[in-house]
Amino acid sequence: MIKRFLTLLLIIPVVAFCTPQATPQQEDDKNQEEQKDPDGGEEQGGQNTDPDEDDTDLYADAAPEVKDGDLVQATNPLVEQFLTEVNYEDKTCKESTKVLDYYGGFRGTDLNWDNWKKEWPDGDKPMKYSIRWSKKDLDDKNAKLKLHLEDKLGWSGDLDIALGSYYVEITNLVPGDEYTYVVTTEAGKQITGGSFKTKDGCTLHQVFFTGASKKTEAKQKGTGVRNARDLGGWPTLDGKRVKYRKFYRGGRMNDPWETMLNKQGKAEVLFEGIGAQIDLRGSDDVVKTAAVNGLDHCAPVIEEGGKVMLGVTKPSNKNCAKWLKFDQGRTDIADVSKYTPTADELEAFQQAYRGKVKQLFDFCLASLKANKPVYFHCSLGRDRTGTLDIIILGLLGVREGIIAKEYEVTYFAPVGYSVSSSDKESNPEPIFKNTRMAWVYSDIVPYFWELAGSGTFVSGVEKYLTEIAGVAKADIDEFRSLMLE
């Protein structure tokens, strides 16, 4: 009876941070949006150019051109090579990893802790292209232009183009897809149009959203939303496929002290169609408002990933103290690093975290039903994000060996995401530790296999959700029906 009372008492406070409605933007974010954007202006497009110059000069800073009838690469070649060449068998996550054989976010560079902020291969960024038009196509260089882009999967988006531009850049393309584009003036005159296809070398849909940072350190490390990708495209054991543009995982969209997105980046988030945001960060850096106005928002406050996040193992004393102080309002805890929780408090933590997992699932299902694609993240998009990613893909029936490859794609993100600065204390040089053999993956995947017994990986994930986290079987069935095709 005491435990039941604790569970009810402790789960209630976290629900307040999941809001299926538009949330106000932070004042600091609003101020930055009103300032001149240092990384791309208010709308997407090329810079104003002297009309007396040759057309060639108009595209000096543009990405490679995509033309009507072209076939182009969507996924970054570094990632595609890894995903197409590597095959992991199920239940082998503790045996080996192959991702370190590939050039990732830092491998092969002259990397040490003194220059890690300057080494930025962009393996996590999708390919980018420009749609172009000439001076003769545009009677008035100050005409307001808009890009309409749509694909055969049923997605479409509209993006404003900066005044005086002679090209607009596009990225975040789905592989194996067909796109139609048209650029028009405000009056409806077509400036250019056409169609193109993307190669289907692999299924991964990477995304990147433009950003500008106020912090000098972050400027050195690069800007924007990094380590981001769609969970769609993966095949399932029953012959279906996970739908694209329903769930995205990645690094943070905002910090308590700054935004990771500039005005262009926020427009790109909405252009992609994202309608909801899950912030999986803990009490030190969680933001309880959405990064972009209009997004539904959920922030359950989670201190760490793995089995602790699942609520099936005890947390550290410090993380339990954080939960007691910040989640439960324990004013008697002055220093979380010195507090020793009781056995009942450690048990209550685990019960509350099982409730947080159910809270996340409920938010995901509600977002699906409302047709609001979800972007979920922690700080780097690795551990807590990886935990939720494994739950979602596992529940949908993606083979565990494939989930392992998807998990290791974080290796291709830059240092600061694939490897965090906190690792300096334990490693003389930056070392990628988030393979399938270590960290979160090797923590929770064997646990799900153990729950599965002689069954499949999906049965282990489902057993956890229904019997431990308290998710209804009917909700799981509905989730699958909305996510698979």
**Does 171 lie in the same domain as 99?**
no
Sheet strands side by side (includes 206-209) = 18-19, 296-298, 276-279, 374-377, 247-250, 225-230, 206-209
The verdict on 335 and 352 lying in the same domain is yes
State which of 201, 219, 234 marks the end of a domain. 201
Q: pLDDT value at position 31?
A: 36
In this structure, is residue 29 part of a structural domain? Answer: yes
The answer to whether 479 and 462 are in contact (CB under 8 A) is: no
* 246 domain-assigned: yes
- Tell me, yes or no, whether 273 lies in a domain: yes
Which of residues 145, 169, 201 is at a domain's end?
A: 201
Among residues 427, 386, 440, 428, the alpha carbon closest in space to that of 409 is found at 386
Residues 268 and 413 in one domain: yes
**Domain identity same for 136 and 92:** no
Could you list the beta-strand ranges (E) of 42-113. 71-72
Is the same domain home to 196 and 217? no
Name the residue range of residue 193's domain.
41-65+127-201
pLDDT value at residue 26: 39
In a domain, 368, yes or no: yes
Residue 276 and residue 364 share a domain? yes
- Give the model's pLDDT for residue 54: 61
- Round the CA-based radius of gyration of the chain to a whole number and report it: 23
Bridge partners of residue 247, in order along the sequence: 374
* Domain finish residue from 166, 201, 236: 201
What pLDDT is attached to residue 139? 81
How many domains in the chain? Answer: 2
Between CA 457 and CA 451 the distance in angstroms is: 9
CATH number of the domain enclosing 159: 2.60.40.10
Tell me, yes or no, whether 164 and 277 share the same domain.
no
**Each residue of 234-270: pLDDT tens digit?**
999 999 999 999 999 999 999 888 778 999 999 999 9
**Looking at the structure, do residues 269 and 341 belong to the same domain, yes or no?**
yes
What is the Cα–Cα distance from 403 to 423, expressed in whole angstroms?
25
- Looking at the structure, tell me whether residues 356 and 464 fall in a common domain: yes
Q: Quick check: is 403 in a domain? A: yes
> Which amino acid is residue 262, in one-letter code?
N
**In-domain check, residue 311:** yes
- Does 72 map to a domain? no
- Does 163 fall in a domain? yes
Specify whether 175 is located in the same domain as 251.
Answer: no
What's the CATH number where 350 sits?
A: 3.90.190.10
- pLDDT given at position 284: 94
Alpha helix segments (H runs only) across 312-438: 317-322, 343-369, 383-396, 400-408
Q: Running along the chain, 485 residues long, what does each successive block of 10 average in pLDDT?
A: 43 50 41 38 53 70 97 97 97 95 71 64 92 90 93 97 94 98 95 97 95 55 85 98 98 86 94 98 95 97 98 98 96 97 98 98 98 97 97 98 97 82 74 87 97 98 98 98 98
Same domain for 148 and 131, yes or no, is: yes
Indicate whether 246 and 159 sit together in one domain: no
Global pTM?
A: 0.89
